[in-house]
Amino acid sequence: MAMGYKLLGVDLTEVSSLDAALNLAGLSWDCPTLVLGEVALCYMDPARSTALIGWAAERFRDSRFVLYEQSCPSDPFGRVMTSHFASLNSPLLSLSEFPHIQDQEQRFLHKGWKTCRALDMNEFCASCVPLPEVQRIHNLEPFDEFEELHLKCSHYFILVASQGFLAEHPCLCPVPERCTEFEMGPRPVPSGSLAAVPFPVPVTGLRRFGHRSCHMASHGVVTTGGFGEKDGRHQRLMDLHVLLRGGDGWDQEQTMEGWDGRLLHSLTPLSEGRGILALGGRFSPTRPAEGALILEHVAGGCTVKVTQMNLQPDIQRWRHTATEVDLSVSDTLSPTGHSYVFVFGGRSVSTLALQDSMFLCLEKMSWDQVEVSGCPPAARHSHSSCSWKGGAVISGGLLQSGLPSASIHLLMLRTPHFLWQQLETIPALTPRYSHSSHVLGEKLLLVGGIWVHCRSVPGVTVVDLNTGHSVEYEIDTSSLEWPLMVHGHSSVLLPEEEQLLLVGGGGTCFSFGTHLNSRPVLVQLPPAVRAAPTD
């Protein structure tokens, strides 16, 4: 231990006692001093902790105060965070007075600090951490909980306040190689709100994330896999869940075995009654799922038949998309009339983000070469894809850099080949990933997801696929009794009811535990797309 090191036990709420104790210990008030508050002041009465901040500004002539603690208590993840600390009898008292980062900056400036700058931890990691250190951290162990990491980082911040000559030296500056990578943007201004209501009948077995849901036949919804609750435990789920509609609404529910436990797979409804195709997925970050599964609804009930299919070669990926595309309009592309599923992106054990495009021939269950020209989307995973005009619409996703994308790419059929086109949106979209999407007529709906470049929560964004004009809507959750998580979810479009069915959602946070939506939710469709014809 260094000579002169002294460890003092002092009540920080009593500034006079603290001052006296430091004097008695022989502290030199004129020396440049670092004051570090690492998740400590947040547990104090706000008036007392603010007094401590003001005392430090007066007593230490040349100093820096570094604060690391929580913010944003009112959004869904913030509510989970504050409930967690309250359950430990350690409520976050500072958040009642200083809920946002800018509130904390003003707090320090008002108490006499000459300069003050604060970043949330997403901005700090994206701007201030050198790339070699980022790579070292990524290589420590297999990691696949991106959503929960970004959510936690958006609710913690680092603040540096400076005094004396130290105020002349900037702090929290981007490192040179990353100075242009990240820019925090304002919260998009919503054009309205969309009412969210709980599913009208009790449903069991859908508290999960990393699953996939889609229409089954003409009157049902099937949900496959994911991580969630069963028998009082959180685990990978081995079941298939089916909701069926009758004349009086949703009137049948059944859970059955038959799923192999994969999650973060793709689930693609196939045309002409060919069933539903499940591709890829993983059992763990080091164990990808193999083969394909064909799901078929057995008429007269809720039963689903699952058939294992071999793939040559196997795709060995997860967090990808798989979209049925219509090549029958071109004899050159599909001379034998085969049907195809277009697979894009994802991640694998060895590659964080994939860029390859693949076309799976459903009749042969093998990959065919199909010409695609134009500039493809950058490598990504956790994006979303929809069918449109025989091609596909790729939106968002998490890039190799670890940051989300705002791009929308169109895979357009241009006989005798496909062509990539990027759609420019007006105004520009906030980058997002882990969302779902749907096309209704000429409109693309982006549902939920994770924002990193904005201190807010995404709702529903509507994009005109012809003009690129976009409109934002927030989700009104006032009718829900729990914080709605719109990440790690699936959504199913119900055009006749003019609603979106949100199934599952949430995640497992390494700090705050597993947080899952209590039941499915119905969200009103935006006015701009109601009653629009389906593509």
The CATH number of 193-216+238-529 is which of 2.60.40.10, 2.120.10.80, 3.30.1120.80, 3.20.20.140?
2.120.10.80
- The pLDDT score that the predictor gives to residue 534 is 54
Rounded to the nearest 5°, which phi and psi values hold at 171?
Answer: -135, 165
Q: What is the pLDDT of residue 170?
A: 93
Report pLDDT for 331. 47
DSSP label at residue 458: -
Question: SS3 string of 111-177?
Answer: CCCCEEEEEEHHHHHHHCCCHHHHHHHHCCCCCCCHHHHHHHHHCEEEEEEEEHHHHHCCCCCCCHH
Q: Kindly report, as residue ranges, where domains of CATH 2.120.10.80 are found in the chain.
A: 193-216+238-529
How far is residue 131's CA from residue 137's CA, in Å, rounded to a whole number? 10
Measuring CA to CA, how many Å separate 383 from each of 8, 321, 451?
A: 51, 7, 13
Do the Cβ atoms of 292 and 278 come closer than 8 Å?
Answer: yes
CATH topology of domain 15-178: Rossmann fold (3.40.50)
Q: Helices 76-87 and 146-154, interaxial angle, to 10°?
A: 80
Counting beta carbons within 10 angstroms of the beta carbon of residue 375, is it exposed (0 to 12), middle (13 to 18) or buried (19 or more)? Answer: exposed
Q: Are 99 and 81 in contact (CB under 8 A)?
A: no
CB atoms under 10 Å from CB of 74, counted, come to 12
**Longest Cα–Cα distance in the chain:** 90
Q: What residues contact 82, with CB distance under 8 A and at least 6 apart?
A: 73, 91, 92, 95
Q: List every span in the chain annotated with CATH 3.40.50.150.
A: 15-178
Give the CA count within 13 Å in the CB-facing half-sphere of 411: 30
Q: Which two tokens stand for residue 480?
A: 């829900």
Rounded CA-CA distance 490/208 in Å is: 10
CA dist list (Å): 175 to 133, 139, 171, 179, 211: 12, 21, 11, 6, 38
* Residue 312: per-residue pLDDT: 84
Whole-angstrom CA distances from 150 to 120, 136, 409, 433 are 10, 18, 24, 11
247 φψ region: left (φ > 0), alpha (ψ -120 to 50), beta (else):
alpha
Q: What is the mean pLDDT of each run of 10 residues along the chain (535 residues)?
A: 84 96 94 97 97 98 98 96 96 97 98 98 94 90 95 98 96 83 85 95 91 87 94 90 81 86 96 90 96 86 85 92 80 58 97 95 85 96 96 97 96 86 97 98 97 94 97 96 97 94 94 91 89 55
CA 267 to CA 219: how far, in whole Å? Answer: 17
Structure tokens at 264: 């973060």
